[in-house]
């Protein structure tokens, strides 16, 4: 019989890719990474890993992905920042096919542990109306009034994980990520979230000398942003724990979007003239993570400060913007 493996669904994506890299560095057994994108487009290509290109909305693909696996991490979803989820509700909801089929395939393949990447978008909108938000506790997901489209899919899939444990004994772990950012994530193209988008805009201003920036909303909206290393650490700690309840995995360092822009300006060493686009996708007014439950369950919570995480992220995004500008120059001079 083949050695049992760990499978990461969505391994070509931002968080899945970092997770595969981390697992390869810390485990000796076989690792399988699965994504719908061609391998050339994956954020990370890790040596010593079986890479499969499959559409995980299909049950047969999920059966291949889960074959001989003892652990499955599901980080595959059709998603993005507010610009994407507000305008693509059906695509977001169709990700329910991934989790449904992956759970069925995992159960049938005898998988022992299954991780599901949920989101702070499951929380009741009434609890997120003020900028000065009260941090969200896990119980604030009910009564249900999540983000339309994307949030409903996440909430439904969370419950399916719970019932797969109750009815079939599959050990499921569910983390509600709060806006995860860092190097090697989506930074352009429409799916990028505020940290990467604002880094891109500031880097472009720094590199071109055009000192203007457009910010979505009035800048007063608040969020907490979670650095990728904390996210990966939290997934591993949760998977090693006995906690079967959905749990916040997010920083509790609240910032306004205007302050986020100021932090990135300071890192870049420039000041920009700001224009606020009030009809842009905005999402909730305020969102923060209450970390009492994760502290209680795991004896740990995210630790990396926004300033530190943004400095690392800005350096990476600036490099991407710079490379893109250089290749545009090369194309122009070749034409």
Binding site for ligand NAD (CB under 6 A): 10, 12-16, 35-37, 55-57, 75-79, 98, 117, 119, 177, 179-180, 186, 193
CA distance 178 to 272: 27
Minimal CB distance residue for ligand GDD: 81
Taking the least distance from each CB to ligand GDD, the nearer of 13 and 81 is 81
Query: Could you say which of ligand GDD, ligand NAD, none residue 257 binds, taking C-beta under 5 to 8 angstroms by partner kind?
Result: ligand GDD
With residue 41 as reference, give the H or E element that holds it: none
Taking the least distance from each CB to ligand NAD, the nearer of 80 and 217 is 80
Report in angstroms how near the CB of residue 186 gets to ligand NAD at its nearest. Answer: 6
Taking the least distance from each CB to ligand GDD, the nearer of 134 and 280 is 280
Task: State the greatest distance between any 2 C-alpha atoms of the chain, in Å, as a whole number.
Answer: 64
Query: Could you say which of ligand GDD, ligand NAD, none residue 221 binds, taking C-beta under 5 to 8 angstroms by partner kind?
Result: ligand GDD
Q: Does 283 bind ligand GDD (CB under 6 A)?
A: yes
Residue from 120, 202, 254, 298 touching ligand GDD (CB under 6 A): that is 120
Q: Does 264 bind ligand GDD (CB under 6 A)?
A: no
Token pair for 59: 């049950």
Tally DSSP H helices, then E strands, for the chain: 11, 13
Specify whether 150 is catalytic: yes
CA distance 284 to 262: 21
DSSP secondary structure string for all residues of 88-118 = -HHHHHHTHHHHHHHHHHHHHHT-SEEEEEE
Name the one range near ligand GDD by CB under 6 A: 27-35, 65-73, 117-125, 231-239. 117-125
CB neighbours of 142 closer than 8 A, spacing ≥ 6?
124
DSSP-derived pairing of the beta strands 50-53 and 69-74: unpaired
Report in angstroms how near the CB of residue 12 gets to ligand GDD at its nearest. Answer: 18
CA distance 289 to 180: 12
Distance of alpha carbon 2 from the chain centroid: 32
Active-site position among 114, 150, 227, 314: 150
Query: Could you say which of ligand GDD, ligand NAD, none residue 302 binds, taking C-beta under 5 to 8 angstroms by partner kind?
Result: none
Q: For residue 254, list its beta bridge partners.
A: 224
Binding residues vs ligand GDD (CB under 6 A): 79, 81-83, 85, 119-121, 150, 177-179, 192-194, 197-198, 215-217, 221, 223, 257, 280-283
């Amino acid at each position: 019989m083949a050695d049992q493996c760990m499978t990461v669904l969505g391994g070509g994506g931002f968080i899945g890719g970092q997770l595969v890299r981390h697992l390869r560095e810390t485990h000796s057994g076989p690792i399988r990474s699965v994504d719908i994108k061609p391998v050339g487009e994956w954020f990370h290509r890790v040596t010593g890993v079986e890479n499969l290109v499959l559409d995980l909305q299909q049950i047969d693909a999920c059966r291949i992905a889960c074959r001989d696996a003892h652990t499955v991490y599901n980080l595959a979803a059709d998603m993005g920042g507010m610009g994407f989820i507000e305008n693509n509700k059906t695509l977001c909801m169709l990700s329910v096919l991934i989790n449904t089929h992956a759970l069925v395939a995992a159960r049938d393949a005898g998988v022992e542990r299954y991780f599901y990447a949920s989101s702070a978008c499951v929380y009741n909108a009434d609890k997120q109306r003020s900028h000065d938000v009260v941090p969200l506790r896990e119980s604030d997901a009910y009564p249900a009034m999540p983000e339309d489209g994307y949030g409903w899919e996440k909430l439904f899939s969370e419950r399916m994980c719970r019932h797969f444990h109750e009815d079939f004994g599959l050990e499921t772990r569910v983390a509600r990520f709060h806006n995860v950012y860092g190097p090697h994530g989506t930074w352009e193209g429409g799916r990028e979230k505020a940290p990467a988008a604002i880094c891109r805009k500031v880097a472009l201003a720094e590199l071109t000398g055009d000192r203007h920036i457009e910010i979505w909303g009035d800048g007063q909206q608040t969020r907490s942003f979670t650095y990728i290393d904390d996210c990966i650490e939290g997934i591993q700690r949760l998977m090693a724990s006995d906690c079967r309840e959905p749990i916040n995995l997010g920083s509790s360092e609240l910032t306004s979007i205007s302050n986020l822009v100021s932090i990135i300006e300071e890192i870049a060493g420039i000041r920009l003239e700001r224009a606020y686009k009030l009809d842009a996708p905005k999402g909730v007014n305020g969102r923060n993570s209450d970390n009492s439950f994760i502290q209680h369950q795991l004896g740990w919570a995210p630790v990396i400060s926004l300033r530190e995480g943004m400095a690392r992220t800005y350096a990476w995004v600036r490099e991407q913007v710079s490379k893109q500008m250089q290749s545009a120059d090369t194309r122009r001079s070749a034409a």
